[in-house]
Structure 1
Amino acid sequence: MDTTALRSAYDRLLDAAALLDLPDLGDAGDRGWNADQILAHLLSIDASIAAVALGVVAGSRPTFDNRISLDTWNLDRIIAEHSGRADLIDHVRSQATVLCDIADRLSGEAASVLVPSLLLSNDALVLDQPVPLAGLIDGLAEDHVPVHTRQLLDLRVPVPFPVPGHA
């Protein structure tokens, strides 16, 4: 598989994550996930898809179900296993590399294996059907990682510019 687009998507995400050191970045105003939960979600998804890919290579027929990566208890557990946001970011970086390295080595045959998949988003069913393994991986680059990059960027609180003559 060609992971150029996926690697680029993660580069943009990690650039956005570099802004996470700002003290005003963290909680979503719409009761959405905070920055750490977004990062934990990405770790969960990436590990799940890497496990599916390795399962396919091993000859098993795994399934993909993203519900565990949406579970707040699981996200909190992942966050607690890290020493802070910088550690979460480093883990996202290294795990994205692992996932891309696995995908780079997939044969065309393995990439075309249909994986029974269940995807939810905001408590709504998005997908409940088999998807080629390559489709799961490409979906990260085309949609999943960019959506979460945007979420991270949206968490930034605009800093007002001082108006001359006003304190």
Structure 2
Amino acid sequence: MDTAPLRDAYRDLLDAAATAGSGAVPPPGEWSVEQTLAHVSIVSAVTISAVSAVASAAIATYDNRMAQEPWTIERVIAQAGGGAGLRDRIALQADALCVLGPMLGDAELDTPVPTRLVSNGDLLVDQPVPLRDLLGGLAETELPGHTRQILALAPSGPG
């Protein structure tokens, strides 16, 4: 599996976070830069877990609900030590996924993973999704969406 798009998406997210800093105040109901990074860190950990399970022929699942939970998000921020620690953590998670991806064969990438994806309280997916689509969705949708979210909080960002 070519993980260049995934690596690029992570790099763009981390560059945006470094640009925005952690002091930007989000609009009501939106996440701060640190909360967004904590969410991404949790999603990345869930993705690493699913990839590792498939690679070891174990039962894999993918559920992002904990990445939406406010207490968990704040706990991850505290454990990482804030924005800089979150950026370091996400960079290492990106490295892990980009190292694991190329070792997977087509059969592993085509493995259906029972998936539950929630966003803003709405159930988006509740069905098996091939592992390759989970990784592709992270690179093509999840990370770019959060990059835009962070850039909107940057001092010179849009909106």
**Normalising to structure 2: TM-score of the pair?**
0.93
1:39: which partner in 2?
37
1:5: which partner in 2?
5
Query: Does residue 58 in structure 1 map to residue 56 in structure 2?
Result: yes
Q: How do 1:21-100 and structure 2 match up within 5 A?
A: 21=21, 23=23, 25=24, 27-100=25-98
**Given the alignment, which residue of 133, 136, 146 partners 1:135?**
133
Amino acid at match of 1:5: P
Aligned partners of 2:55 and 2:108 also within 8 Å: yes
1:151: which partner in 2?
149
2:119: which partner in 1?
121
Measured in 2, the distance between the counterparts of 1:21 and 1:41 equals 16
Of all paired residues, the percent bearing the same amino acid is 39
Amino acid at match of 1:70: Q
1:15: which partner in 2?
15
Please tell me the root mean square deviation across aligned C-alpha atoms, in Å.
1.5
Q: Deviations over 1:40-99 (max 9, x none)?
A: 111100111111111111111211111011111111110111223111111111111111
Unaligned runs of 5+ in 2: none
Measured in 1, the distance between the counterparts of 2:22 and 2:62 equals 35
Amino acid at match of 1:29: P
Secondary structure in structure 2 of the residue aligned to 1:62: coil
List structure 1 segments (4+ residues) > 4 angstroms apart after TM superposition: none
Secondary structure in structure 1 of the residue aligned to 2:80: coil
2:110: which partner in 1?
112
How many residue pairs match? The answer is 157
Measured in 1, the distance between the counterparts of 2:90 and 2:126 equals 27
Secondary structure in structure 2 of the residue aligned to 1:127: strand
Secondary structure in structure 1 of the residue aligned to 2:125: strand
Secondary structure in structure 1 of the residue aligned to 2:113: strand
Query: How far 1:156 moved relative to its partner?
Result: 2.0
Secondary structure in structure 2 of the residue aligned to 1:81: helix
**Normalising to structure 1: TM-score of the pair?**
0.89
Measured in 1, the distance between the counterparts of 2:94 and 2:144 equals 14
Measured in 1, the distance between the counterparts of 2:64 and 2:143 equals 14
Unaligned runs of 5+ in 1: 160-167
Amino acid at match of 2:5: A
